[in-house]
Chain A
Amino acid sequence: MSVEGFVITEGNTVQEAVSKALRMLQVKKEQTTIEIISEGKQGFLGVGSRLAKVKVSIKEDAKAELELTDILVDLHIRDESLAAQYSPKVTDKMTGVAAVVNGKVVVTDPSDLGSYAILKPGRNMRLIINGQETVEETPVSEGDMIQVELVDEKPVSSLELTVADNKLEALLRLVSQPGATYRLMDQAETNKLLLQIEVAEIIESPPVTVEDVIRFLQEKNVVKGILNAGIQQVLENQNGKEGFPVARGLKPEDGIDAYIRLPFLDDAKEDEEEPLFNHHQMVSVSPGEVVAIKVPKQIGRDGWAVTGEPIPAALPKDCEMCIKSGCEFTGDGEMVVATIAGRPGTANIGNKTFVHVDPVYEVKDVDQTIGNIKFAGDVLVRGSVRDGYKIEADGNIEVFGDVTRAAITAGASVTIHQQALGSIITAGGRAALYSSILPGLKETGEMLNNVRAVAEQLKSVPAFKTSDLRAKGDGPLIQLLLDSKFNVLPQTVSELSETMLGSKQTVHEQVLDCVNLLQKDLCGLGSVNIESVDYLQRLKECVDLVVGLINDSIRKEDCIKVKYVQNCTLQSSGDVIIEGQGCYISTVTAGGEVIVSGNPGVARGVKVVSNGNVTVKELGSDFDTQTSVAVNCNSKVSAGLIHPNVTVKVGGDKFRVDNLYKNFDAYINYEGQLVVDKLLTGEKRQ
């Protein structure tokens, strides 16, 4: 029976729909009220036919009487189709019939030669005829011994436990279903009888107590962090959709990694992503000032699972603080203080952090009173750099005034607060050098591996005699390989060495040592003295180390920042940023981006070669001055305004501007084609 106490059914006729409803409700017609929703229509040859629809409700007084059978009515609805076949039919006196009267099967034999009554067992019962159990339709006669054993439904109470993957929570749900005892339902005489049951008594499910739940949890190994309130909830909300937490573990608190705190960054917190101080701002420390503090790792707190086992907290990582130059450890070794006045900085190699303080050389003006400057640190010019003077610095160079017909070369960045006229300005010498030797170093590393592999292979070729190698070591073989298949290797190493020697940049000791070692061992007759091919592996490891160091070192690119540029040559390993009026009749080479962003932000008569995007407010001029911009194929040239005759080159594709455009963008799309977006200005400027 449906909970509402009524059903809505359909049938070809009203009568059919009603009988269907009565079957579904398991009630007699007089116990119900019937409401006809639709009469139904026969239609013509099935066209336009409509089913009859009725709503059959159980009368209030009948409900109480029927309540008992409610619980298991689902069962009967499922039986409906089967029951339909067995619905009482007009019984023919010629045939045998069977009925259930007061819970007993009563069989009447046919009067004449008609067929015998047929029995079929229904649900929850075993039909035993003359000691033989049957599940099929079976003809029976009066003389047969018919036994019906009813199978009662047992009540069920079960607990469903879900322990979270991290074992920090256990959810419990109580599912309980009452059981029932049955009796055979009385049925009228029919020649084909489906035996059916009705509920005799409902058996409540056994009560579950808090103690039961705790015992159950213990069996399931949930022993720690039991929540009594949760258990109460489970018991009060049986058959709930979801479980309730009945136990909760303790989450571990992970340890905190050790790190190096740099107090000088606290004041100059401009770029938090780059733990290294900002290149464009002069940070300085005085002797005795704290440069770095190691904040020790903090051990976390272990947690535990609901199953009782501990959950260990993640172990914190330690880091090592080392000193390089211009600073020293204080007594306990947890702090670094400056020994000189200068610019503090750090370099990370692996999990080691090297702290250094580079000296800063500060002058008023660079002129005849000072002369040229060459300094292994930063140079700060409070005034200007005058005609014909030179500054070379390993670190940054910052000039607050102008730079006029001078040469400025910095290992790191250059910042000029006023204008640069007729000068040569180079930034990031070391990074530029490192970038140039990096490919060669990587190639060398790979080739070393290959030489080793081929040498091993050769030794196993039958026609290749190795007696000379046994006497003299692997040297002659390596020499031969470097003379033949791998003759590129000594060449590459020589080039590396030449590049390093040719550059005035100071480089890391490890880089210099490595290249010198390669030169000694692989060029000329050096390789003859190598004892074993395994030595090549050691060389390769040395190269790998240096490649890592260089990668670390050139990650932070240096840049040139200047307000106004005229008749200059600018070379930067990183960006070139012109923040004032613009850039006139100059050559700009950049490893990063070129940005001309000031007011009006003009680049006119310039030649720009850049490895990154070029963004200019106004590019070129009306006077047909030669202006060209070249970028690599992954970069973009953008100009707010672009004049005719400017040449734009992106990767290998060239575009010559033929008109005055605004909002100009040129780039290579994903199909490898040059795309030029632009808008005609519609006016010709004079």
Chain B
Amino acid sequence: MLDVQVSTDGKNKILRLVGELDIATVDRFKKSVDEAREDVSGMILDMAKLGFVDSTGVGGLLNVVKSLRKDSVEVKVCNVSAEVYEVFDLLGLPMLLGKEIFE
């Protein structure tokens, strides 16, 4: 299950991900991002309440980040739990996306 709570902070959109980002919820995640990306300069993905990921989910996240960057939207990922960060780290995301993306 995944719930995406969207809020606005000036020119930035904040997406709070609650639940799991996996093969069942990745489409819901992509849809939420697509709805929120209009006219924003920055997007913050708050993962404090994100408990689990799978390979399809992380693949979706990767595509979303790449696509937003293509549109010059600055992406930040924050409050990642230690467990999920371990997955990101093993996949080399900090290296690939730049360490500064994680806050």
Q: Do A and B bind each other?
A: yes
* Chain B residue with the shortest CB-CB distance to A457: B90
Closest Cβ of chain A: how far from B49's Cβ, in Å?
A: 13
The residues of B that contact A458 with a CB separation of less than 8 Å are 87, 90-91
Quick check: is A467 within 8 A (CB to CB) of the other chain? yes
**Which of A462, A480, A486 is in CB contact (< 8 Å) with B58?**
A480
The residues of A that contact B62 with a CB separation of less than 8 Å are 480, 483-484
* Structural contact, B92 and A463, CB atoms closer than 8 A: no
* Chain A residue with the shortest CB-CB distance to B85: A463
Interface size on B, residues (CB 8 A): 24
The residues of B that contact A476 with a CB separation of less than 8 Å are 55-56, 59
* Chain A residue with the shortest CB-CB distance to B60: A480
The residues of A that contact B22 with a CB separation of less than 8 Å are 465, 467-468
Quick check: is B42 within 8 A (CB to CB) of the other chain? no
* Structural contact, B83 and A461, CB atoms closer than 8 A: yes
Give Cα distance in the complex from A120 to B87, angstroms. 91
* Structural contact, B83 and A483, CB atoms closer than 8 A: no
Contact with A along B7-43 (1 / 0, CB 8 A): 0000000000000101100000000000000000000
Per DSSP, chain B at the interface is helix
* Structural contact, B23 and A485, CB atoms closer than 8 A: no
Give Cα distance in the complex from A454 to B58, angstroms. 15
Closest Cβ of chain B: how far from A456's Cβ, in Å?
A: 10
Give Cα distance in the complex from A476 to B87, angstroms. 15
Quick check: is A102 within 8 A (CB to CB) of the other chain? no
The residues of B that contact A485 with a CB separation of less than 8 Å are 90-92, 95-96
Closest Cβ of chain B: how far from A449's Cβ, in Å?
A: 15
Give Cα distance in the complex from A199 to B50, angstroms. 105
The residues of A that contact B3 with a CB separation of less than 8 Å are none
Per DSSP, chain A at the interface is helix
Closest Cβ of chain A: how far from B53's Cβ, in Å?
A: 6
Contact with A along B67-103 (1 / 0, CB 8 A): 0000000000000010110110011110110000000
Quick check: is A44 within 8 A (CB to CB) of the other chain? no
The residues of B that contact A466 with a CB separation of less than 8 Å are 54
Interface size on A, residues (CB 8 A): 23
* Structural contact, B90 and A463, CB atoms closer than 8 A: no
Give Cα distance in the complex from A436 to B99, angstroms. 34
* Chain B residue with the shortest CB-CB distance to A479: B59
Closest Cβ of chain A: how far from B40's Cβ, in Å?
A: 25
**Which of B54, B56, B57, B83 is in CB contact (< 8 Å) with A462?**
B83
* Structural contact, B81 and A480, CB atoms closer than 8 A: no
Given contacts A484-B92, A487-B96, contact A463 B59 (CB under 8 A): no
The residues of A that contact B92 with a CB separation of less than 8 Å are 484-486
Which residues from 459 to 478 on chain A have a C-beta closer than 8 Å to any C-beta of chain B? 461-469, 471, 476-477
The residues of B that contact A486 with a CB separation of less than 8 Å are 92
The residues of A that contact B51 with a CB separation of less than 8 Å are 463
Give Cα distance in the complex from A407 to B88, angstroms. 55
Given contacts A458-B91, A485-B91, contact A469 B86 (CB under 8 A): no
* Structural contact, A463 and B58, CB atoms closer than 8 A: no
Closest Cβ of chain B: how far from A621's Cβ, in Å?
A: 54
The residues of B that contact A481 with a CB separation of less than 8 Å are 91
Closest Cβ of chain A: how far from B13's Cβ, in Å?
A: 25
The residues of A that contact B87 with a CB separation of less than 8 Å are 458, 461, 463-464
Closest Cβ of chain A: how far from B84's Cβ, in Å?
A: 5
The residues of B that contact A468 with a CB separation of less than 8 Å are 22-23, 54-56
The residues of B that contact A464 with a CB separation of less than 8 Å are 52-55, 87
* Structural contact, B91 and A463, CB atoms closer than 8 A: no
Give Cα distance in the complex from A465 to B55, angstroms. 8
Closest Cβ of chain A: how far from B99's Cβ, in Å?
A: 14
Closest Cβ of chain B: how far from A408's Cβ, in Å?
A: 48
Give Cα distance in the complex from A195 to B20, angstroms. 105
Which residues from 37 to 67 on chain A have a C-beta closer than 8 Å to any C-beta of chain B? none
**Which of B56, B83, B93 is in CB contact (< 8 Å) with A463?**
B83
Give Cα distance in the complex from A165 to B62, angstroms. 69
* Chain B residue with the shortest CB-CB distance to A469: B55
* Chain A residue with the shortest CB-CB distance to B97: A484
Give Cα distance in the complex from A476 to B62, angstroms. 13
Closest Cβ of chain A: how far from B76's Cβ, in Å?
A: 18
Give Cα distance in the complex from A581 to B20, angstroms. 78
Give Cα distance in the complex from A167 to B54, angstroms. 67
Contact with B along A66-94 (1 / 0, CB 8 A): 00000000000000000000000000000
* Chain A residue with the shortest CB-CB distance to B50: A463
The residues of A that contact B90 with a CB separation of less than 8 Å are 454, 457-458, 461, 485
Give Cα distance in the complex from A477 to B52, angstroms. 15
Closest Cβ of chain B: how far from A357's Cβ, in Å?
A: 52
Closest Cβ of chain A: how far from B86's Cβ, in Å?
A: 5
The residues of A that contact B91 with a CB separation of less than 8 Å are 454, 458, 480-481, 484-485
The residues of A that contact B93 with a CB separation of less than 8 Å are 484
* Structural contact, B59 and A465, CB atoms closer than 8 A: no
Give Cα distance in the complex from A471 to B81, angstroms. 27
The residues of B that contact A479 with a CB separation of less than 8 Å are 55, 59
Give Cα distance in the complex from A484 to B61, angstroms. 11
Which residues from 480 to 498 on chain A have a C-beta closer than 8 Å to any C-beta of chain B? 480-481, 483-487
Give Cα distance in the complex from A457 to B86, angstroms. 10
25 contacts between A and B (CB under 8 A): A454-B91, A458-B90, A461-B83, A461-B90, A463-B51, A463-B86, A463-B87, A464-B53, A464-B55, A465-B57, A468-B23, A471-B23, A476-B59, A479-B59, A480-B59, A480-B62, A481-B91, A483-B59, A483-B62, A484-B91, A484-B93, A484-B96, A485-B90, A485-B92, A485-B95
- Interface on A for B, CB 8 Å cutoff? 454, 457-458, 461-469, 471, 476-477, 479-481, 483-487
Q: Closest 6 A-B residue pairs measured CB to CB? A: A485-B92, A463-B83, A465-B54, A468-B23, A477-B55, A476-B55
Besides A462-B83, A463-B52, A483-B59, 19 more A-B contacts (Cβ < 8 Å) are A454-B90, A461-B83, A463-B53, A463-B84, A464-B87, A465-B22, A465-B53, A465-B54, A466-B54, A467-B22, A467-B54, A468-B54, A468-B56, A480-B59, A481-B91, A484-B58, A484-B92, A484-B93, A487-B96
